[in-house]
Amino acid sequence: MIDEQAEEKRRGSFWRELPILLGVAILVAVLVRAFVLQTFYIPSPSMEHTLNVWDRVLVNKLVYDFRDPRRGEIVVFKAPTKWQRGTEGEDFIKRIIGVAGDHVVCCDDKEHLMVNGVSLPEPYIYTDADGRQDPAADEDFDITVPANRLWVMGDHRSASGDSLEHYETSDKNIDEATVATDAVVGRAFTIFWPVSRAAWLSVPKEFEAIPDAAPAN
């Protein structure tokens, strides 16, 4: 009889504590999503074939609280007003090509971008089914990234509304063409869905050769 009473008390305690446990779990999930990790899906072909339409990526929202974004990283950011196409607060995902102070030029004699005087081969740029790779840029340009801003481009250059497109359509307004560093939501670091495409989104080794920008005079 005593054992039955104890068992009933344990069951009653469990059901009384369950709403608290569920509440804590929901709170933890909300906090993680708000401040640490968030999932995003890819709605456009602008990053093919690094990221395909409907791929889902995991984004680290905490990393840039401790350091600045770096060249070669794939980032999610709040689109500048001039970049938006009807959805306020729209998120974009692109690759960082240049950070503040970087001198980015198209192109060298091999049709590669140059960053701070060094050629940047880009094997990740979109290649079609016939093996034809997009050009690094569809027209020549020569820019220096302003302070606290980023020059970002899609890996599928011919299908990406990125810094180059907005540089061309804004009469070469570098502020409209670049993204504020504080607009970055976080770094996309892995594809987790579909499982067949699961992969880490590491920085391509080609960026290792790029030197830091020379200090301004």
Q: Which residues are known to be catalytic?
A: 46, 94
Which residues are 107's β-sheet partners?
none
CA-based Rg of the chain, rounded to a whole angstrom? 23
E runs forming strands in 9-90? 37-41, 56-60, 74-78
151: tokens are 């020059």
CB atoms within 10 A of CB 65: 8
Angstrom distances, CA of residue 18 to CA of 12, 14, 26, 211? 10, 6, 12, 56
DSSP 18-31: HHHHHHHHHHHHHH
The SS3 of residue 15 is helix
Residue whose structure tokens are 């791929």: 55
